[in-house]
Each structure stands twice: as C-alpha cells, then as structure tokens.
Amino acid sequence: MTTKADNLPKPLWLFSIILIASSVVGLVLLVSILKDERFDFDYSLFIIVMIILHSVVGIGILSRKRWGFLIFKYYLYLLYLGIPIGTYISHKTLLYIKQNEVAKLYKGK
C-alpha cells in the first residue's frame, strides 16, 4: 500500500521531516523550560507559535494538498528574512520547486 508521501521527492520529504522534528524538539524545549523562572510568557508564546508553524508546514508538505503547498511556499518566502542561512535555504528550495515542477504534485488536491 502506498501513501501520498511515497510519491513525494526525497528533498521535500526530508524537509517536512526536519520541520516536524524541529517542532517536537521545540515542544520538549518548551516543557523543559516551563519550570525555569528566567523565561517569561513572551518567550513561551514564541516557542508555541513556532511549534504550530513548523508542524503545519511539515504536515502540509506530506499531505500533498494544495493548502500545504501554499503554506510551504509562504514559509519559504518568510524564511528569506533569515539572513544568511535562511536566505540560502529558501533560495535553493524555491529553485528546486521551480526546476522540478513540484507544483504539479499538488494540483487539484
């Protein structure tokens, strides 16, 4: 039995797994620092937003639905602001998406 993620190109599959893993790491970090009084509510809120964002983007890529692809592209455009590493990753990933016509995998779903 094949799943939707089986037909996904390996770089996108790895990117989604890394995003989901980073959200799990963020959750573990959040739980571990809740006991620490040095971190305030704003820091915890930032971690919660990042956990949700990375989870949604990772699951969206794996689901191969149109909304997942759109969120992924917006995420990459937002990642351009992370100079220099985020810019490099965004540029290379968007170039890969364009050259390999990845958008066709997400059409009509």
Mean pLDDT by 10 residues, the chain (109 residues): 70 95 92 75 86 96 93 95 94 95 80
pTM: 0.85
- DSSP string of 17-52? HHHHHHHHHHHHHHHHHTT-TTS-HHHHHHHHHHHH
- The reported pLDDT for the residue numbered 38 is 74
- The reported pLDDT for the residue numbered 1 is 47
As a whole number of angstroms, the distance between CA 72 and CA 87 comes to: 15
For the four alpha carbons of 68, 42, 80 and 28, in that order, the dihedral sign comes to negative
- The reported pLDDT for the residue numbered 37 is 73
